[in-house]
């Protein structure tokens, strides 16, 4: 009885607020608060929303991801997110020859998954997943009671439905036509909100993060260092001797092209010597 009185008072307050904000005018309110009262079902099932997350180490990330997808489908669940990636931790090149090296890389692989599981099967799913890993780093489950939120949206929706019905029968006159659209949109929002709660109650969201030990991968690749592609020492020495002989012959040819200047220089030097002998005192 107290619940009905409380809801009736809330309905009257709602009508008063709507009147002040959207231009409602109550033409006939002989029934009073009974027109907006809604009985509360004390036997209604609680709206419990369950969420969980787990982080664990596995032997093989890709195989574990496939197994989780299979288990989820078997339990009539749904995979809504799946991401897997690898990153190189460190790498080293070992020279095998002038044109090839052995590249040794250490990389780690991780994966993130988000699945929806029927709430009544959540515990079984979490226990099964825990046994798939080498060990569990963290495991958590939260339960949030959405009963009051669900009831609030339901009562508001009922009050608006009754208000729209009274507007049609002329008991309430709405001066602003846009207020009718506001009421109908608000009724839709209330219905969608409760449907979301129902979905969250029926299907629990589980976040999974799993990883494996670093993997060593070896591959033989071409040497990408240009300085490594040099000729052997003896070949380079022979080439240097050939280049030296080439430069020497070019020098001889250059001097040969300057024979006139060389003769002129020799003649000038011999004349200067003869002059010094003839005039030694000068």
Transcribe 100-121 into DSSP letters.
Answer: EEEEEEEEEEEEEEEEEEEGGG
**Residue 84: burial class (beta carbons within 10 Å; 0-12, 13-18, 19+):** middle
The H or E element that residue 143 is part of is strand 135-145
Tally of CA atoms within 13 A in the half-sphere of 105 that contains its CB: 13
The per-residue pLDDT string of the chain (282 residues; one tens digit each, 9 = 90 and over) reads 434 434 444 444 444 444 444 444 444 444 443 444 455 555 678 899 999 999 999 999 999 999 999 999 999 999 999 999 998 888 888 888 777 888 899 989 999 999 999 999 999 999 999 899 899 999 999 999 998 888 888 888 888 888 777 777 777 776 776 777 787 788 888 888 889 999 999 999 999 999 999 988 888 888 777 766 666 777 778 888 888 888 888 888 887 887 878 788 888 888 878 777 777 765
Contacts with 136 (C-beta within 8 Å, 6 or more apart), sequence order: 54, 55, 56, 130
Hey, which residues does 93 pair with through a beta bridge?
103
Query: Which pair of structure tokens corresponds to residue 199?
Result: 């979905």
Q: According to the model, what pLDDT value does residue 121 have?
A: 93
DSSP state, residue 146: -
Helix ranges (DSSP H) in 57-146: 61-74, 122-132
Q: Which of 38, 39, 33, 40 is nearest to 15 (CA)?
A: 33
Asked whether the CA dihedral 220, 221, 225, 230 is positive or negative, the reply is: positive
32: Cα separation from own chain's centroid: 56
DSSP SS3 for 152: helix
Measure the CA–CA gap between 45 and 145, rounded to whole angstroms. Answer: 11
Residue holding tokens 């009974």? 34
Q: What is the pTM of this model?
A: 0.60
Q: According to the model, what pLDDT value does residue 233 have?
A: 75
Query: Which pair of structure tokens corresponds to residue 24?
Result: 């409602």
Residue holding tokens 């409760």? 194
Q: According to the model, what pLDDT value does residue 11 have?
A: 47
Q: Which of 7, 31, 50 is nearest to 205 (CA)?
A: 50
CB 96 within 8 A of CB 102: yes
Q: According to the model, what pLDDT value does residue 33 have?
A: 39
CB 38 within 8 A of CB 7: yes
Residue holding tokens 């030990």? 213
């Amino acid at each position: 009885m107290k619940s009905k009185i409380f809801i009736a008072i809330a309905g009257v307050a709602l009508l008063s607020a709507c009147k002040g904000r959207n231009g409602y005018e109550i033409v006939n309110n002989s029934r009073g608060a009974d027109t907006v009262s809604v009985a509360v079902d004390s036997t209604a099932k609680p709206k419990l929303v369950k969420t969980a997350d787990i982080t664990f180490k596995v032997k093989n990330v890709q195989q574990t991801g496939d197994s989780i997808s299979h288990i989820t489908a078997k339990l009539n669940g749904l995979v809504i997110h799946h991401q897997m990636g690898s990153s190189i931790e460190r790498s080293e090149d070992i020279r095998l020859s002038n044109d090839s090296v052995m590249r040794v890389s250490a990389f780690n692989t991780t994966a993130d998954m988000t699945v929806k599981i029927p709430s009544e099967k959540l515990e079984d799913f979490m226990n099964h997943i825990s046994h798939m890993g080498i060990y569990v780093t963290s495991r958590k489950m939260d339960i949030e009671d959405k009963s009051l939120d669900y009831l609030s949206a339901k009562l508001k929706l009922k009050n608006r439905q009754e208000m729209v019905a009274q507007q049609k029968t002329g008991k309430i006159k709405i001066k602003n036509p846009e207020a009718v659209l506001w009421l109908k949109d608000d009724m839709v929002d209330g219905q969608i909100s409760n449907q979301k709660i129902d979905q969250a109650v029926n299907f629990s969201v589980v976040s999974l993060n799993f990883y494996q030990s670093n993997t060593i991968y070896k591959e033989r690749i071409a040497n990408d260092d240009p300085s490594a592609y040099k000729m052997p020492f003896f070949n380079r020495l022979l080439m240097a001797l050939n280049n030296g002989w080439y430069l020497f012959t070019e020098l001889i040819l250059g001097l040969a092209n300057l024979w006139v200047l060389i003769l002129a220089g020799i003649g000038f030097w011999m004349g200067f010597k003869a002059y010094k002998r003839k005039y030694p005192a000068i």
